[in-house]
């Protein structure tokens, strides 16, 4: 049984609750344990994962970034994804469930476990990457 850390950017609480429901359900269905760590926003998720890198078997990044009126959306969406990819290339098993949407309706559709279940998909991706990591390690 693996121990998986869910790192959530808790900016949109109602959307995160849905993403967390999906992620936790997928992890538990696979027979693994999990803990959740909350950070202020999507830009802090990769840093928290880096700090916890030696303590968990896999990571699920959860959060929502909704386009606003400024360029800030592009910075947050792009840089959080870039940093998560860098950690993945460094060998960490990470599933990226940070939603980047145009509006709340798109985010709701993607977050709900009964619809697109992006939290559950991110957890399944993290588990698969962990399995690959273990296969190549041994």
Q: Which residues are annotated as a binding site?
A: 11, 42-44, 64-66, 69-70, 96, 110
Q: Which residues are annotated as a binding site for 5-amino-6-(D-ribitylamino)uracil?
A: 11, 42-44, 64-66, 96
Catalytic-role residue among 14, 32, 34, 72 = 72
User: Taking the CA atoms of the chain, what radius of gyration do you get in angstroms?
Assistant: 14
Q: Which residues pair with 27 in a beta bridge?
A: none
Map residue 33 onto helix, strand or coil: strand
72 burial via Cβ count (<10 Å: 0-12, 13-18, 19+): exposed
Whether residue 72 lies in the annotated active site: yes
Residue 112 · residue 18 · CB < 8 Å: yes
Residue ranges at the known binding site for (2S)-2-hydroxy-3-oxobutyl phosphate: 69-70, 110
* Distance set, CA 64 to CA 19, 30, 40, 69, 118 (Å): 9, 25, 12, 16, 11
Residues belonging to the active site = 72
């Amino acid at each position: 049984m693996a121990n998986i850390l869910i790192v959530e950017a808790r900016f949109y609480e109602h959307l995160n609750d849905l993403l967390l429901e999906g992620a936790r359900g997928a992890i538990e269905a696979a027979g693994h344990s999990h803990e959740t760590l909350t950070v202020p926003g999507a830009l802090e998720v990769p840093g928290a994962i880096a700090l916890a890198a030696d303590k968990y078997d896999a990571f699920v990044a959860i959060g929502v970034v909704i386009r606003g009126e400024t360029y800030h959306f592009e910075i947050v969406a792009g840089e959080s994804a870039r940093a998560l990819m860098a950690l993945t290339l460094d060998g960490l098993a990470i599933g990226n469930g940070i939603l980047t949407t145009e509006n709340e309706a798109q985010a709701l559709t993607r977050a709900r476990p009964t619809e697109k279940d992006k939290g559950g998909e991110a957890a399944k991706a993290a588990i698969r990457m962990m399995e690959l990591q273990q296969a190549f390690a041994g």
